[in-house]
Amino acid sequence: METIKLTTTEHAVLGLLAFGERSGYDLARAADRSIAYIWTPSRSQIYKVLPRFVDRGLATRRDVPQQGLPDKMVYRVTEAGLDALRTWIAAVEPEPADPAVFLLKILFGDFGPPGAAVEQLQAYRDRTRRRLAEFEAIDRNPSPERTEFGRIALHHGIARARATVDWAEAALEALAASNVAKRPETRATK
C-alpha cells in the first residue's frame, strides 16, 4: 500500500476528525477549543483538506439536509485515515522543523499505537534537554556583545526549557502510573 504524504495541518485535521463525524464548521470550532493552542489551522485550510481526504480515501462525506439552509456536509474518518494518523503518531522525529508536532502527536495519542505517545514525550523531553544544555552553555560563556536584554531573553529560554522538561517528566510518570500507554486497545484499534 502506498503511503499518503500529508502536511502537519492535514494530520491535525485528520486527528480532530478521528473523534467523530463532523462538518467543516464543527472541525473549525473543535480546533479553536483544542489544538489552536498548539497548531492553528485556518477555517479555509480545514475546508480545503476535507475534499482531499475524501478523494484519497481518508474520509467519507455525506450530505445532511437542512431546512432553509444549504445541505450540510459531514465527514467521517475511514480506516485508511486512521491508519495514516496511526503511522504519523508512531513516527518519532528527534528534530522536527516545528516542535509543536510533538504536542499534536501527544494530543492524538489515543489514536496511535500503544506506547507511541510515550515515545513522543520522551523525544520531546530529550530535544528540550539538548536545547537547555545549549542555552546554559551560552549563559556560562557570554559573548562580548551580549546586552542585559539578551541575558534576560536567554534566561526566559532556560526557564521555559526547564519547565518543559519538568512537565514531560511528570507526564511520563502520570502515563506510567495510569498504564494508559500499555493498554492494548486504544481508540485507534477499536
Confidence of residue 142 (pLDDT cuts 50, 70, 90): confident
In the sheet that 22-23 helps form, which strands lie side by side, from edge to edge? 22-23, 72-77, 59-64
Contacts of 175 (CB under 8 A, 6+ apart): 117, 118, 121, 181
Express as a percent the part of the chain with pLDDT over 70. 93
Please tell me the predicted confidence (pLDDT) of residue 147: 94
Among candidate residues 5, 108, 111, the one with its CA nearest the CA of residue 56: 5
Q: Per-residue pLDDT tens for 47-88?
A: 999 999 999 999 999 999 999 998 999 999 999 999 999 999
Helix residue ranges per DSSP H, 96-147: 100-107, 116-140
Domain ranges of the chain: 8-90, 109-189
Query: Any idea which residue has 481526504 for its cell?
Result: 53
Residue 56 CA to residue 49 CA, distance in Å, equals: 10
Distance CA 16, CA 28 (A): 9
* pLDDT score recorded for residue 183: 56
Q: Which CATH architecture has domain 8-90?
A: Orthogonal Bundle (1.10)
